[in-house]
C-alpha cells in the first residue's frame, strides 16, 4: 500500500484497492478503528472521483458496512447495506448477482441481530431469485441455501435446515 501511494499517488485506483485490502485485513485482526479510517477514506475518495453509483464505490461502502457489522454496529451497517442495495437495484436491476449479494449481506446483518423473520424472508428471496436467474447448479445457489439453512438452525428449526442442507 505504501509503495503504491508513493508510486501512483494517494488517490490512484491501484492505491485505493490496496488501502481497501489493508482495511479488510485490519478488520479481521480486530483493529477496527484503523480499518474504519482506511475504509472511510477509500469510500469518500471513490464517491468524489467516481460517483456514488460506480461499482468500486459500492464495493467500498459494502466493505465499510462489513467492518461495522463485525463490531456489532448494526444500524450503521444496515444503513450502508441498504444504500448499496437501493443503488444496485436502480443501476443494475433487482436480479443482478451483485444486487443479490448485497441483499444476502443485509440478511446476514438481520440474522446477527436475531431478526429472524426479516433475515429468513430476504435470504429465501435471494435463494429463489438466484435459482431462477442462475439455474439450479450455480455455486451461488449453494451459498444462498447455506444462508437459509443457517438462519433455520439459529432459530432451532432443525428439520427445515436439514431438508435444505442435504
**Cell 441481530 maps to which residue?**
113
Report the 10 Å Cβ neighbour count for 40. Answer: 14
| Residues in contact with 114: Cβ distance below 8 Å, sequence separation at least 6, in sequence order | 154
Phi, psi of 31 (to 5 degrees): -95, 65
pLDDT at 123: 94
Round to whole Å and give the CA distance between 69 and 87: 20
DSSP letter string over 98-123? HHHHHHHHHHHHHHHTT-HHHHHHHH
Q: Are 27 and 35 in contact (CB under 8 A)?
A: yes
- State how far the Cα of 46 lies from the Cα of 43, in Å rounded to an integer: 5
DSSP character at residue 1:
-
Averages of pLDDT over each 10 residues, the chain, 166 residues: 89 91 92 94 91 89 92 94 96 94 94 92 95 90 89 88 79
In this predicted structure, what is the pLDDT of residue 77?
95
Please report the domains of the chain, with CATH numbers, ordered by start residue. 1-91 (1.25.40.10), 93-166 (no CATH)
Predicted TM-score (pTM) of the model is 0.85
User: What does the pLDDT read at residue 51?
Assistant: 85
For position 15, what pLDDT does the model report? 93
Amino acid at each position: 500500500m505504501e509503495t503504491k501511494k508513493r508510486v501512483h499517488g494517494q488517490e490512484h485506483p491501484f492505491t485505493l484497492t490496496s488501502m481497501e485490502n489493508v482495511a479488510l485485513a485490519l478488520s479481521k485482526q480486530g483493529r477496527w478503528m484503523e480499518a474504519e479510517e482506511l475504509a472511510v477514506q477509500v469510500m469518500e475518495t471513490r464517491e468524489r472521483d467516481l460517483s456514488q453509483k460506480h461499482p468500486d464505490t459500492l464495493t467500498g461502502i459494502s466493505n465499510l458496512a462489513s467492518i461495522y457489522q463485525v463490531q456489532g454496529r448494526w444500524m450503521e451497517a444496515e444503513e450502508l447495506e441498504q444504500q448499496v442495495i437501493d443503488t444496485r437495484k436502480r443501476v443494475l436491476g433487482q436480479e443482478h448477482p451483485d444486487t443479490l449479494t448485497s441483499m444476502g449481506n443485509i440478511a446476514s446483518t438481520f440474522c446477527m441481530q436475531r431478526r429472524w423473520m426479516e433475515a429468513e424472508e430476504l435470504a429465501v428471496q435471494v435463494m429463489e431469485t438466484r435459482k431462477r436467474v442462475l439455474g439450479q447448479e450455480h455455486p451461488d445457489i449453494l451459498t444462498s441455501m447455506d444462508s437459509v439453512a443457517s438462519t433455520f438452525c439459529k432459530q432451532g428449526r432443525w428439520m427445515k435446515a436439514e431438508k435444505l442442507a442435504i
